[in-house]
């Protein structure tokens, strides 16, 4: 089957979107690629389709067990043999999956980065024909990114252990220069084709508000948008519990998600949200990676996140169906202090040598500053975000609170 037939037959789509086709063609021509596309753009297809066309096996490196399960689940449903190898399998299941893999049953295998250099897995990989290694959420390799995973640093070593070098493809939604350079270097991409597609999400409306009564503002917003699905991001678990509790008390169909809940509650709440049994999700930033819910109409931030990367990623979970959606950040000066404390007490930095830790801290504070400027600027919010990611905005998008305000002022002046 050619790529169009695979797209239609297995995934049910008539045409490619954005840079998908370019990336697929580059991979099929044997070139390493780095694809930088915003959340929801459809990065998975860019490696899944070539995986089905290349002889041999594609290994997909993914940072989260839940992401692997979701993706393997949908592939299996589409009639594609795929499996995952990670710590959620018992040793018995793991061995069985690996033996099926040895028999060549799976064209696509998702694997946790920590597994790559284990003797069992290496033995399999050296004796199999690995035609591609696809690295999803590739920014996890960078210490400057927000989701650094030490296991990602082993990917390049693993690839060097293989008898024949496969094509290496990497995908991320993080577009800053530091992270991009890290990916190219640390994953050891060879003569890579780097494709970055527009980060603008024209259907998203952006606003920053500074209400005295934050809960009141959130409640008012949700009342006005009743029947719609939305996410309320909070800075702390405690805040999640409070806001969710209040919403439920006030009669809203809300649920919650944070790392302090049991696996079971997290899974249940997430499903309630996805299937619209509880269309309002109150969560910390632990919620969302890999969540694919298309009808999220608003993302409210009950407090300012620590940087623009986080904010745009979280806000970007709204409007994935391309229909209008709103992203509103409720800001208070206290958020700066809270975030500074997070940065000062970041325990990840304990593993770093003091000099690097200091560097990371400095960068985090710098990013916090840029996030704070976003909350205070009178200029086009979209333009601010796009410029942060190194793109050129238009200075006036017409679809953010600041542009609309300017428009109103202009009209008033004209009328006068």
Smallest separation (angstroms) from ligand ADP to the CB of 184 = 19
Among Mg ion, ligand ADP, none, residue 138 binds (CB under 5-8 Å by kind): none
In angstroms, rounded to a whole number, what is the distance separating the alpha carbons of residues 51 and 136?
Answer: 14
Toward Mg ion, which CB reaches closer, 239 or 285?
285
37 close to 43: Cβ distance less than 8 angstroms: yes
169 close to 139: Cβ distance less than 8 angstroms: no
Task: Provide the mask over 37-56, with x wherever binding to ligand ADP is found by CB under 6 A and - wherever it is not.
Answer: x-xxxxxxx-----------
Among ligand ADP, Mg ion, none, residue 41 binds (CB under 5-8 Å by kind): ligand ADP
Residue indicated by tokens 């690295």: 135
Smallest separation (angstroms) from ligand ADP to the CB of 48 = 8
User: Is residue 183 classed as helix, strand or coil in its secondary structure?
Assistant: helix
Smallest separation (angstroms) from ligand ADP to the CB of 153 = 22
Smallest separation (angstroms) from ligand ADP to the CB of 43 = 3
- If one asks whether residue 292 binds ligand ADP (CB under 6 A), the answer comes out as yes
Footprint on residues 226-265 left by ligand ADP (CB under 6 A): none
Which of residues 10, 16, 152, 199 is near ligand ADP by CB under 6 A? 16
Q: Which two tokens stand for residue 123?
A: 């033995």
| Strand 108-111, strand 193-196: pairing | unpaired
- If one asks whether residue 8 binds ligand ADP (CB under 6 A), the answer comes out as no
Among ligand ADP, Mg ion, none, residue 17 binds (CB under 5-8 Å by kind): ligand ADP
Which of residues 1, 8, 9, 13 is near ligand ADP by CB under 6 A? 13
List, as one string, the DSSP characters of 196-227. Answer: E-----TTEEEEEE--SSHHHHHHHHHHHTTT
Options 10-18, 146-154, 162-170, 228-236: segment touching ligand ADP (CB under 6 A)? 10-18
Q: How many residues does the chain have?
A: 416
Toward ligand ADP, which CB reaches closer, 172 or 269?
172
Question: Which of these, 47, 41, 37, lies nearest to 17 by C-alpha position?
Answer: 41
Smallest separation (angstroms) from Mg ion to the CB of 292 = 8
Q: Which residue is nearest to ligand ADP (CB)?
A: 42
Question: Which of these, 98, 279, 410, lies nearest to 270 by C-alpha position?
Answer: 279
**Percentage helix, strand, coil, to 5, in the chain?**
50, 15, 35
Residues 6+ apart with CB under 8 A from 298: 221, 225, 228, 230, 231, 318, 325, 326, 327, 328
For 345, other C-beta atoms within 10 Å of its C-beta total: 9
Residues 6+ apart with CB under 8 A from 307: 146, 364, 367, 368, 370, 371
Task: Provide the mask over 6-25, with x wherever binding to Mg ion is found by CB under 5 A and - wherever it is not.
Answer: --------------------
For 178, other C-beta atoms within 10 Å of its C-beta total: 14
265 close to 278: Cβ distance less than 8 angstroms: no
Toward Mg ion, which CB reaches closer, 39 or 307?
39
Smallest separation (angstroms) from Mg ion to the CB of 146 = 16
Toward ligand ADP, which CB reaches closer, 289 or 359?
289
Toward ligand ADP, which CB reaches closer, 292 or 358?
292
Among Mg ion, ligand ADP, none, residue 39 binds (CB under 5-8 Å by kind): ligand ADP
Options 35-43, 124-132, 200-208, 272-280: segment touching Mg ion (CB under 5 A)? 35-43
Smallest separation (angstroms) from ligand ADP to the CB of 118 = 27
In angstroms, rounded to a whole number, what is the distance separating the alpha carbons of residues 50 and 204?
Answer: 31
Among Mg ion, ligand ADP, none, residue 174 binds (CB under 5-8 Å by kind): none
Among Mg ion, ligand ADP, none, residue 45 binds (CB under 5-8 Å by kind): ligand ADP
Toward Mg ion, which CB reaches closer, 21 or 70?
70
Smallest separation (angstroms) from ligand ADP to the CB of 321 = 9
- If one asks whether residue 159 binds ligand ADP (CB under 6 A), the answer comes out as no
100 close to 320: Cβ distance less than 8 angstroms: no
Question: Which of these, 237, 321, 323, lies nearest to 282 by C-alpha position?
Answer: 237
Smallest separation (angstroms) from Mg ion to the CB of 37 = 9
Toward ligand ADP, which CB reaches closer, 53 or 365?
53
Query: Rg of the chain's alpha carbons, rounded to an integer?
Result: 22
Residue indicated by tokens 């959340």: 39
269 close to 276: Cβ distance less than 8 angstroms: no
The binding site for ligand ADP (CB under 6 A) comprises 13, 16-17, 20, 37, 39-45, 292
């Amino acid at each position: 089957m050619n790529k169009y037939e695979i797209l239609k037959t297995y995934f049910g789509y008539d045409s490619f979107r954005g840079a998908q086709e370019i990336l697929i063609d580059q991979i099929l021509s044997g070139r390493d690629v780095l694809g930088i596309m915003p959340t929801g753009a459809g990065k998975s297809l860019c490696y899944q389709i070539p995986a089905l066309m290349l002889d041999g096996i594609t290994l997909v490196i993914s940072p989260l067990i839940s992401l692997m399960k979701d993706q393997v689940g949908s592939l299996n449903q589409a009639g594609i043999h795929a499996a995952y190898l990670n710590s959620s399998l018992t040793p018995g299941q793991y061995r069985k999956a690996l033996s099926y893999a040895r028999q060549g049953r799976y064209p696509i295998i998702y694997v946790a980065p920590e597994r790559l250099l284990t003797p069992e897995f290496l033995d399999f990989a050296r004796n199999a024909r690995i035609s591609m290694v696809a690295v999803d959420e590739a920014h996890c390799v960078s210490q400057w990114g927000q989701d650094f995973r030490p296991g990602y640093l082993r990917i390049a070593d693993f690839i060097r252990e293989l008898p024949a070098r496969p094509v290496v493809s990497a995908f991320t939604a993080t577009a800053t220069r530091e992270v991009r350079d890290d990916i190219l270097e640390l994953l050891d991409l060879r003569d890579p084709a780097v494709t970055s597609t527009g980060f603008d999400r024209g259907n998203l409306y952006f606003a920053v508000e500074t209400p005295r009564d934050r809960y009141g503002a959130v409640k008012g917003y949700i009342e006005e948008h009743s029947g719609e699905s939305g996410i309320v991001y909070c800075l702390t678990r405690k805040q999640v519990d409070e806001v969710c509790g209040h919403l439920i008390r006030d009669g809203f169909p809300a649920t919650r998600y944070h790392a302090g809940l049991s696996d079971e509650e997290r899974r249940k709440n997430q499903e309630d949200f996805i299937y619209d049994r509880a269309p309002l999700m109150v969560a910390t930033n632990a919620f969302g990676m890999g969540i694919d819910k298309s009808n999220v109409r608003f993302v409210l931030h009950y407090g300012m996140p620590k940087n623009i990367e986080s904010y745009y990623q979280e806000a970007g979970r709204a409007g994935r169906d391309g229909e209008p959606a709103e992203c509103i950040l409720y800001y208070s000066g206290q958020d700066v202090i809270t975030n500074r404390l997070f940065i000062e007490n970041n325990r990840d930095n304990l593993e770093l040598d003091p000099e690097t830790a200091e560097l990371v801290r400095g960068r985090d504070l710098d990013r916090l500053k840029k996030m704070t400027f976003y909350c205070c600027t009178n200029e086009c919010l979209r333009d601010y975000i796009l410029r942060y990611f190194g793109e050129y905005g238009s200075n006036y998008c017409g679809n953010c609170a600041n542009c609309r305000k300017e428009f109103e002022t202009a009209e008033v002046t004209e009328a006068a």
